[in-house]
Each structure stands twice: as C-alpha cells, then as structure tokens.
Amino acid sequence: MQMIDVPTDGAPAPRPARTGVHPPPAGWRPDSWRGLPISQQPDWADPAGLGRVLGEISQLPPLVLPGEIEDLRAELARVADGRAFFLQAGDCAERFGSCIENGVRGKLRLILQLAILLSYGSGLPVVKVGRIAGQFGKPRSSPTEIVDGVELPVYRGDIVNDTAPTRAARTPDVERLRSAYHHASATLNVLRALLQEGFADLEQVHAWNQEFVRRNPAARQHEDVAADIAWALRFMAACGAERTDRSTPQDHLYTSHEALLPGWEEALTRPDEETGAWYGTSAHMLWVGDRTRRRDGAHIEYLSGIANPIGVKIGPDVTPAELRLLCERLDPGHTPGRLVLISRLGADRVLDLLPPLVHEIRATGRPVVWACDPMHANTFRSRSGYKTRRLSDITREVAGFFAVHRAAGTFPGGIHLELSGDDVTECLGGVEEVLDVDLGHRYETACDPRLNAGQSIELAFAVARLLRR
C-alpha cells in the first residue's frame, strides 16, 4: 500500500476531541416535542405543504456546525466563570428585506462598536452573539388584531407571514420556512466574509466610536473613555500585541434566535457522530421566550435534547423554584456554558425580583451565565400611540442588574439588546434626543422598538462606566 505524505505546514490543527457535551435525555428525539402542549404556532394555511417543505429543509446543509457551537459553549463557560463578558444583540424581528450587504454590515459594525466599549469597561474579552441570521419568528400577545375595522391574523415574523395589513399577506405561508433558511444562509455568508476580511479590526472599530463622540456635542462627556481606549490600543501595539492573525476570537460573531417554531428547528437538527450529541444547526445559540418556556411544553422538550447553548428569558412571573426546575430540565449535567439566564424584569422591579432568583440558582452551584435584557419589560405605548421604550429605563435596569449581582457575589455576565444600525426613532431619549413627537419619523421595526446606533453606543458607554466602578 502506498502511503501519501500529507503536508502539515500551514494546515489547521485538528480540533481537540469534544468533552463535556450535553447529551440528550433518555427517550428524546428531534421530534419528541410533537404532541406536547404548544403555544404561539401559526395556523398554517397548507398543513400538507408544511411537512413537504420541512422535509426539504431537512435535506439542506446545516447553517452552522457542531464545532462552532461547541466553541461558543466554551466561551460562555468562561463568561459563567467571570472571565469574559457576553453581548447578545440585534433586531427584534429580522426582515427578509434587510438581508442586504449594507444591512448586515451596519448591524455587525454596531455590535463590534459596543463590544469594544464593554471590553474596556469589564477588562474582559466580549463574547458576541447576534440576534441575526434566523431571528424571523415572533411570539405575539394576541392571535389577531383589528386594522381599520377588519380583524386580521397578527404578523408573526417573516418566517410565517408579512406585515402588510391584508388577509393575503397575513396568511401563514409555508414557503416562508424555506425562504427563512435561504435568508439566514445569505446573512451568515456575508457575516463570515466581512469578518474574514478584517472588518473587526480594533483600531477601525474604535475610530467609529471616536467619530460618534466627535460628531455629537452632547456625547463629549464620553471623550475621556474614548481617549483611554485609544491609548490602550497604542499601548498594545507598542508592546507588539498587534494582531497578525485575524482569526482570533475577537473576530467572531455567533448567531442566535428564539426557537419559536420547533418544526423548523427539528428540520435543521443533526446528530454528531463523534459524541452522540444532537445539534440545532439553525444557529449557534437558541433561546426560549418568556411566553413559551413552560416546563412540560413542546419548546422546552425540543431544547432539552440539543447540545447548543440555550438562553432562557425570565419575566417577572417566574418563581425561583420554577427557574430551578427549568434549569434542571434543560441542564441536568450542570454543563458549563450550556445555560444563559436572561432576566427581563423591568427597571422598577429588577431590584426586588432578581435577588431571589439569583440566590436560588447560586445555591445549586450550577455554572450559568446571567444576562440582562433591559428591553422587554420596559415597553409601553406612548401618547403618540407608538410602542416604545426609554433609554433611561433601559440603562436603569442594567444598573439594577449589576447592583443585584454585586450584592449576591455572582457575576453579571452580559446584556441582551434590541438595536438597529440605522438612525431609527423607536426608543425615547439619548443625547440626540428622540421625543414622543419624533417617533413617527423613522419607526421601522416590524415588532418591538429598537435602540438606534447612537442610543446603543451611549448605553454601552454607560455600561462601561458601571462595569469599571
């Protein structure tokens, strides 16, 4: 037999064998959620077509690979340990129409800008996860709404129907499931290309932050922080720490979305021959929403068996005991990096509601990431009729979250934001103040109000200061 010498020069090192992977519970299958109580599902107009389209999606390549998912889990394990900080951010509802190079570029750029500020504030690397490349399904508070006197099905995200207020547009269409796959794939493709060509270069990203401070007289208060970061970058370069290899963790943006439609997730669930684990390959991280996290329900059943990092949204009505049981169900092995508990309790209530939850989980010794979503419990309808949020409430909930963890001796691991890279006018406040009368100028979200680029950067400066305290 002839042996072939494989050149090793420049070849990537083999991945180390995976250890500590979350195994599926006994009896779990990618479809074992079927038949369990389930909410927030579309009334598909073509149930036969649904099976056909999902069958076709199940034959397509995974969107992300198990190795990348495990890399994220390892990074989240470091967050749980207090050795890294976590930033999850992006649209409330991603639109197929915003899957264009500039749209993706703008969101990536903003997430990188925030990450550098959070890294400065925490003195830690930032693990970046986008609500991107698949954040297409939305839970809604009511199945229908009245538009101009006509009752229509609500918009449930681009993976289900369209926003236009007509019966045809609002009718759930199974072809959108296929379209969601292709839009997620195209978004991932451009994300990977941008990162590979050096878009995450620290100096460049910081130059954008400096431009923000220069351009806005009211943001001058942050000049000291911006100057500090510039100095730190010079210092790093002077020490020879300038990166020559662009594929450092700094350059990663992982993807995530709410796993709202288990059928779509099931079609993209793949086994890993090496470990016997199963992976949801639609995104690196999946989360369960506050409305669908019932312990005996379909969503939790599905998520309990895949090995991805799982986010759990925690609203004001979760009790400490329920949270403990939910964690037990999703992560019986206390796998580091497996669980990200995302509290969204409201600026007025976080100081009361968060401590008992933190104490309960701390007592179990499980290594979770605690993250703060300061968006979803601070939403209200303004006088002008728009659904909005105040930047001041958002900042206050994050401050409360940090205070609670400081008092408990636990690590406030990160933040979860809804934002847009554009100058939208959906949230109130900020140095370029958005007032109630301004909301109509660029209110473009298909669902919840997002921070615009300036408001997001301002929040990150504020969080950086809180972290340094």
The piece of 8-16, 87-95, 128-136, 286-294 that touches Mn ion (CB under 5 A) is 87-95
Integer Cα distance of 379 and 294 in angstroms: 23
Please tell me whether residue 139 binds ligand PEP under the rule CB under 6 A.
yes
Integer Cα distance of 469 and 457 in angstroms: 19
Integer Cα distance of 216 and 173 in angstroms: 45
Among Mn ion, ligand PEP, none, residue 290 binds (CB under 5-8 Å by kind): ligand PEP
Binding mask 376-415 toward ligand PEP (x if CB under 6 A, else -) reads x---------------------------------------
Q: How many CB atoms lie within 10 A of CB 450?
A: 27
Please tell me whether residue 394 binds Mn ion under the rule CB under 5 A.
no
Among ligand PEP, Mn ion, none, residue 429 binds (CB under 5-8 Å by kind): none
324: exposed, middle or buried (C-beta count within 10 Å: 0-12, 13-18, 19+)? Answer: middle
- Sole binder of ligand PEP in the list 251, 266, 290, 393 (CB under 6 A): 290
387: exposed, middle or buried (C-beta count within 10 Å: 0-12, 13-18, 19+)? Answer: middle
Task: Give the nearer residue to Mn ion in terms of CB position, either 92 or 451.
Answer: 92
Task: Give the nearer residue to ligand PEP in terms of CB position, either 23 or 139.
Answer: 139
Integer Cα distance of 377 and 367 in angstroms: 25
Number of residues binding to ligand PEP, judged by CB under 6 A: 10
Shortest separation between residue 372's beta carbon and ligand PEP, angstroms: 12
Number of residues binding to Mn ion, judged by CB under 5 A: 2
Task: Give the nearer residue to Mn ion in terms of CB position, either 57 or 372.
Answer: 372
The piece of 67-75, 77-85, 88-96, 187-195 that touches Mn ion (CB under 5 A) is 88-96
How many CA within 13 A on the CB side of residue 8? 2
Q: Categorise residue 6: left if φ over 0, alpha if ψ from -120 to 50, beta otherwise.
A: beta
Strands (DSSP E) along 84-168, which ranges? Answer: 85-90, 126-131, 144-147, 150-153
Task: Give the nearer residue to Mn ion in terms of CB position, either 272 or 448.
Answer: 448
Please tell me whether residue 89 binds Mn ion under the rule CB under 5 A.
no
Please tell me whether residue 289 binds ligand PEP under the rule CB under 6 A.
yes
The amino acid sitting at 251 is: D
- Sole binder of ligand PEP in the list 79, 84, 92, 451 (CB under 6 A): 92
Integer Cα distance of 95 and 91 in angstroms: 9
**Token pair in block for residue 327:** 């964690």
- Sole binder of ligand PEP in the list 313, 389, 390, 450 (CB under 6 A): 313
- 3 state DSSP class of 206: helix
- 3 state DSSP class of 285: strand
Shortest separation between residue 282's beta carbon and ligand PEP, angstroms: 16
The piece of 52-60, 104-112, 227-235, 284-292 that touches ligand PEP (CB under 6 A) is 284-292
State which residue has the least CB distance to ligand PEP.
289
Shortest separation between residue 291's beta carbon and ligand PEP, angstroms: 6
Going from the C-alpha of 15 to that of each of 6, 12, 71, 82, 352, the distances in angstroms are 17, 9, 10, 25, 45
Please tell me whether residue 342 binds Mn ion under the rule CB under 5 A.
no
Task: Give the nearer residue to ligand PEP in terms of CB position, either 266 or 448.
Answer: 448
Please tell me whether residue 419 binds Mn ion under the rule CB under 5 A.
no
Shortest separation between residue 285's beta carbon and ligand PEP, angstroms: 13
Shortest separation between residue 420's beta carbon and Mn ion, angstroms: 12
Q: Cα 296 from chain centroid? A: 24
Instruction: Decide if 106 contacts 130 (C-beta within 8 A).
Output: no
The amino acid sitting at 100 is: I
Shortest separation between residue 379's beta carbon and Mn ion, angstroms: 8
Task: Give the nearer residue to ligand PEP in terms of CB position, either 378 or 455.
Answer: 378
DSSP of 33-87, one letter per residue? TTTS---S----S-HHHHHHHHHHHTTSPPSS-HHHHHHHHHHHHHHHTTSSEEE
**Token pair in block for residue 90:** 């992006």
- Sole binder of Mn ion in the list 84, 92, 104, 300 (CB under 5 A): 92
Q: Which of residues 339-378 bind ligand PEP (CB under 6 A)?
A: 344, 376
- 3 state DSSP class of 315: coil
Binding mask 435-454 toward Mn ion (x if CB under 5 A, else -) reads -------------x------
The piece of 116-124, 245-253, 286-294, 381-389 that touches ligand PEP (CB under 6 A) is 286-294
Q: For binding to ligand PEP (CB under 6 A), which residues are involved? A: 92, 139, 258, 289-291, 313, 344, 376, 448
Q: For binding to Mn ion (CB under 5 A), which residues are involved? A: 92, 448
